[in-house]
Structure 1
Amino acid sequence: MTSIYNFIGSWQLFPEKGIYETGSRPKSGICIITANNDKQLISINTNWVTLENQAFAAQYELAADGALHAFADNDLADMVKVDIISTIHFEVFFYKNENEILQVIHELLPNGYLKIIQKGFTTGQKPYINTEVYHRQMSVLPYASSASGALVKPTEEGVIRHKALSAMEEQTNMQLDQIRRQIELLALQAQEIQMRKELSMIIYNAKLSFSPVIGSVYYLYQKNDDTHFVSMIAPGQWGRGAAYKEFIAKVKLLADHTWVEV
């Protein structure tokens, strides 16, 4: 049941993101998912309002053990099964007279949204697929988030778990952000060291007619034959007939005997 905890919470419908091959498009909706770890039960409570301001609600308590169980609403189905595929994916299968009549796929998207796909058959036995997208509400409210929304009554256990989940998400996201910043800093430091190494290799292969002093600034040049040399003379201090083809960089010797461009 650990895998279902990512889904626990209150989810608000994006009506404009839905794709409906059958039925009418709702103008608002809320899906609340809770779990009872001791009994391996998932509770799914869905409320929605149509464009004609008709309110509907459905609530199911399902055993999440991958086995077939009798379903309470015989008008819809007589058997039901829940398969937990991964921490971001679980599916519910409804059966009537041993025939699968409805498959409901719950999937968490990379952006944190919840996508619910319903695959079933119309009364005329025509297959259909309805897709809905939800975003997580930051609090479990005892009422719908819109003025025309249907009444929602979350359980106390669901509220406690949702608060714990929200706190966990906030803390882990903060820790992940800190690690990302540390990785970015290390990458920049590694890039800086690599640049110092490459510059140092050029200088140590160049002509150096004096002993450089740590912390002092010098000038790297390229000669006509494409070799390099280091000088204490700045580019503006050369007279006529300068002995270099191109000025490369102003450099400084560090305490670790690497060179850095200044």
Structure 2
Amino acid sequence: MGKQKPDNVVYSEKEGYHANILPFATNVGAPVIKIDDVVAWKSRGIHNVNKEFESKFNELKTAYQSLIEEYQWNELVYNAKFSFEPVIGEIYHMYLGDDGKQFLSLISPQEWNKEFIASFRLNSDKKWLLIDKQSLSFI
């Protein structure tokens, strides 16, 4: 028991009393060594990053839904009956025929008494852009 030193004495067999070369204070009156609480910082960071990811996910989800809707409208128009070559930039109107099939026409809904579905404009990429729609119940 004689070889044991008190807890507040810095001593090793190899280096002896070496408190003065340690990077931290070793006496009782020294400032307390406190480990920073990074849990709060981490949780704020996680919350902010998750919020950003959720926002980006919602943007992508909205863009995806818009793309799917554009695809469905284009598929509907390209599968409709028309016996002319559409002109880029011109507005065309889709109607439901007596036979239950969709067809395109240049005649506007105000000039004709047919069941109107939607109006489209053909852009330079050959993509049909929806201008006006009646309902989505037929898709």
Tell me which interval the TM-score lies in, with the shorter structure as reference length: 0.5 to 0.7
Q: Which amino acid is the alignment partner of residue 71 of structure 2?
A: K
List alignment gaps of at least 5 residues for structure 1: 1-154
Residue equivalent to 1:151: none
Q: How many residues align?
A: 100
Matched, 1:182 2:51: no
The normalised TM-score by structure 2 is 0.61
Match of 2:122 in 1: 253
4+ residue stretches of structure 1 with deviation over 6 A?
none
What is the CA deviation profile of residues 85-116 of structure 1, one whole-angstrom value per residue up to 9, with x for unaligned ones?
xxxxxxxxxxxxxxxxxxxxxxxxxxxxxxxx
- CA distance in 2 between partners of 1:254 and 1:187 (Å): 25
How many angstroms apart in 2 are the aligned matches of 1:156 and 1:215? 74
SS at match of 1:157: coil
What secondary structure, in the 3-state scheme, does the structure 1 residue paired with 2:121 have?
strand
Structure 2 CA distance for aligned equivalents of residues 209 and 196 of structure 1: 23
Residue 233 of structure 1 aligns to a residue whose secondary structure is: coil
Task: Specify which of 102, 115, 129 is matched with residue 228 of structure 1.
Answer: 102
Structure 1 pair 235/176, CA: closer, same or farther in 2 (3 Å)?
Answer: same
Return the alpha-carbon distance in structure 1 between the equivalents of residues 88 and 55 of structure 2: 32
Deviations, residues 228-258 of structure 1 (Å, cap 9, x unaligned): 11112211023xxx4x3x1001122234433
**Residue 94 of structure 2: SS of its match in structure 1?**
strand
Mapping 1:85-96, distance limit 5 Å: none
Greater Rg over alpha carbons, structure: 2
- Structure with more of its chain in helix, by fraction: 2
User: What residue in structure 1 maps to residue 9 of structure 2?
Assistant: none
What is the CA deviation profile of residues 138-179 of structure 1, one whole-angstrom value per residue up to 9, with x for unaligned ones?
A: xxxxxxxxxxxxxxxxx8635x21xx2222222221111111
Aligned amino acid, residue 129 of structure 2: V
**How is 1:141-160 mapped onto 2 (pairs within 5 angstroms)?**
157=34, 160=36
Which residue of the partner structure matches residue 4 of structure 1?
none
Q: Which residue in 1 is equivalent to 2:13? A: none
Q: Judging changes above 3 Å, is the alpha-carbon distance between structure 1 residues 156 and 216 closer, same or farther for their aligned structure 2 residues? A: farther
1:44-93, Cα deviation, whole Å (9 max, x unpaired): xxxxxxxxxxxxxxxxxxxxxxxxxxxxxxxxxxxxxxxxxxxxxxxxxx
Alpha-carbon separation, structure 1, partners of 2:109 and 2:89: 20
Give the whole-Å Cα distance in 2 for the aligned partners of 1:168 and 1:216: 56
Residue 207 of structure 1 deviates from its aligned partner by 1.6
| Percent identity between the two aligned chains | 27
Could you say if the C-alpha distance between residues 195 and 215 of structure 1 is closer, same or farther in structure 2, counting changes exceeding 3 Å? Answer: same
Where do 5+ consecutive residues of structure 2 fail to align? Answer: 1-31, 132-139
Q: CA RMSD in A?
A: 2.1
Structure 1 or 2: more strand by fraction? 1
Question: How far apart are residue 193 of structure 1 and its match?
Answer: 1.2
Q: Which residue type is aligned with residue 258 of structure 1?
A: K
Q: Match for 1:217 among 91, 95, 101?
A: 91
* Pair 1:169 & 2:46 matched: no
Q: Give the secondary structure class of the aligned counterpart of 1:229.
A: strand
